[in-house]
C-alpha cells in the first residue's frame, strides 16, 4: 500500500512488501529507491532520469551482455526467485530517507518546472539538510 499523504507523484512503499508488475523491465513507468534506513520511495521513471547517475544505474540493469552471460543471468534469476523478472530498484546505502525524500522532491520539481513559462517557485529545503543534500545531488548528477 502506498502512503501518499506526504508525496504527490512518488509514494513511500510500506514495509517493502509491494513489487507491482508495472515496475518490471526497462520500459517500466516507475522505479523504486531504497534509503539506508530501509524506507522506500516509488517514483515516475521520467523523474528519476533527470539524474545522470540514476539513468546510468537503471541502464546498467539492462545493459548489453554477451549471449553466454545473458543465459547465465537468466538461469541465476530463475534459480533465485523461481521467476524471470527484473525490478527497477536502486538501493542507496549511504543516503538516509530524509535526504532521499528531498532528492525525490527535487527531481519532481525539476521535471515540472523545466522549460516552464509559469513563475518558478523557490525549492525549499530544511537548513539542517543542506550539506547532506548537496553531497547527494553531486553524486546523483542532478
Q: How far is CA 110 from CA 7, 14, 35, 65, 95, in A?
A: 15, 26, 21, 33, 20
- Could you say which DSSP state residue 13 is in? E
Query: Against a cut of 0.95, is the pTM above it?
Result: no
Which are the contacts of 129, defined by CB distance < 8 A and separation ≥ 6?
A: 98, 99, 102
Give the model's pLDDT for residue 70: 52
Give the model's pLDDT for residue 16: 45
- Could you say which DSSP state residue 96 is in? -
Low-confidence spans in the chain with pLDDT less than 70:
1-24, 61-87
| CATH fold for the domain made of 2-140 | Potassium Channel Kv1.1; Chain A (3.30.710)
Give the model's pLDDT for residue 19: 52
Q: Which three cell numbers stand for residue 68?
A: 553466454
Amino acid at each position: 500500500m502506498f502512503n501518499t499523504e506526504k508525496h504527490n507523484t512518488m509514494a513511500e512503499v510500506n514495509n517493502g512488501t509491494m513489487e507491482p508488475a508495472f515496475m518490471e523491465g526497462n520500459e517500466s513507468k516507475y522505479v523504486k529507491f531504497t534509503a539506508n534506513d530501509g524506507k522506500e520511495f516509488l517514483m515516475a521513471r521520467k523523474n528519476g532520469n533527470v539524474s545522470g547517475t540514476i539513468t546510468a544505474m537503471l541502464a546498467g540493469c539492462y545493459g548489453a551482455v554477451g549471449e553466454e552471460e545473458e543465459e547465465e543471468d537468466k538461469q541465476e534469476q530463475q534459480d533465485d526467485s523461481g521467476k524471470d523478472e527484473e525490478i527497477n530498484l536502486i538501493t542507496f546505502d549511504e543516503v538516509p530517507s530524509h535526504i532521499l525524500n528531498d532528492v525525490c522532491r527535487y527531481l519532481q520539481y525539476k521535471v515540472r518546472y523545466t522549460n516552464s513559462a509559469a513563475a518558478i517557485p523557490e525549492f525549499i529545503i530544511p537548513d539542517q539538510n543542506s550539506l547532506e543534500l548537496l553531497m547527494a545531488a553531486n553524486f546523483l548528477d542532478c
